[in-house]
Amino acid sequence: MPQLSETVLAPELEGGQWIQHGPVSLKVLRDKAVVLVDFWDYTCVNCIRTLPYVVAWNKRYKDGGLVVVGVHAPEFSFAREGSHVAEAATRFGLEYPIVLDNEYAIWRAYSNRFWPAKYLVDAKGRIRYYHFGEGAYQETEVAIQGLLRELHPGASLPPPMEPVRDSDQPGAVCYRVTPELYLGHARGQFGNFESVVRDRPHDYRDAGPHVEGMSYLAGRWRVEQESARSEAPGAALSLRYTAKDVNLVMAPPDGASVRVQIAIEGGQRAGDDVKFEGERGFVTVDRPRMYSLVANESVVSGALTIRAEAEGLAVYAFTFISCVVT
């Protein structure tokens, strides 16, 4: 179990903007509560997959002395907007205090480097447990229960909850899949033979063939620091991948929506955000968030192409899921 010395005091949750409940003071909660600090971003697929557990722990233990705090540290600039985070909190059923850490003040105070990251603070204000990334859900719940029993020695607590997904069960296998693929010039990897033109519109040609782990632009795009933005209808983006699920963070122009056509290699199963008109698949991008494009039952090698039906579509990052039940 990842534990820290009992002399390590948790930094206060200061420097952010509280958008839901709060503010929460660790000093005020001293001798009264155990605090779970959850660093997350609403577009991060690994964060999203942990949220059902955080929601459940909040409901299970809030009356027994647990205070959950969501520290939203934005990965992309649009995620600094409080209304986007508030909408996501409602969509994911987050009822606990949430603070916008747009300047990374809390992130730096905790020397954090990961999305998601969880820190457990005991009733004396000390960091006693941490976990980075997905997984270890029962282990984390056992750690929560241990600190609650220190606070209330006679507490009657339920058994740790069962996994909410089959892929979280013991024995599930997580394969090596295509790594996260960014689509801005700061961190992006583009496979076009021509070099990427930064921060101005350019007509790209996709001559193929495609190599896994690269994105290929076709048509008129503006490649900015964080994203690639379509500058004309028909701008396309293609890639090959190895994964179970494929997700893409996308955003429309302000106050508008963009329909995106998607062509998935035969045999792949479309994700939850893909709708069909006959055999043509499309995604309606109406707010900045992560969109589910492919959702297979196992890890496979595949390919897809998206095509914007209008200018103004911003694409930020592909993410890929690897864990399956064997």
Query: By the 8 A CB rule, do 290 and 319 touch?
Result: yes
Side chain identity at 184, as an amino acid letter? G
Can you give the C-alpha Rg of the chain in angstroms? Answer: 21
Domain map of the chain by residue range? 17-162, 181-324
Query: By the 8 A CB rule, do 89 and 55 touch?
Result: no
- d(Cα 262, Cα 239) in Å, to the nearest integer? 12
- d(Cα 237, Cα 250) in Å, to the nearest integer? 12
Q: What CATH fold (topology level) applies to the domain 17-162?
A: Glutaredoxin (3.40.30)
- d(Cα 13, Cα 72) in Å, to the nearest integer? 12
pLDDT by residue for the chain (326 residues), tens only, comes to 455 556 689 999 999 999 999 899 999 999 999 999 999 999 999 999 999 999 999 999 999 999 999 999 999 999 999 999 999 999 999 999 999 999 999 999 999 999 999 999 999 999 999 999 998 999 999 999 999 999 999 889 999 999 988 778 777 777 778 999 999 999 999 999 888 999 999 999 998 899 999 999 999 999 999 999 999 999 999 999 999 999 999 999 988 999 999 999 878 899 999 999 988 999 999 999 999 999 998 888 999 999 999 999 999 999 998 877 66
Count how many Cα atoms sit within 13 Å of the Cα of residue 295 in the half-sphere of its side chain: 8
Query: By the 8 A CB rule, do 3 and 120 touch?
Result: no
Q: In the CATH scheme, what is the code of domain 181-324?
A: 2.60.120.260
- d(Cα 177, Cα 274) in Å, to the nearest integer? 22
- Measured in whole angstroms, the distance separating CA 156 from the mean position of its chain's CA atoms is 34
Residue of 273, 263, 251 lying closest to 306 (CA atoms): 263
pLDDT tens digits, 19-48: 999 899 999 999 999 999 999 999 999 999
Is the bond into 23 cis (omega within 30 degrees of 0)?
yes
Whether the model pTM is above 0.85: yes
Query: By the 8 A CB rule, do 274 and 262 touch?
Result: yes
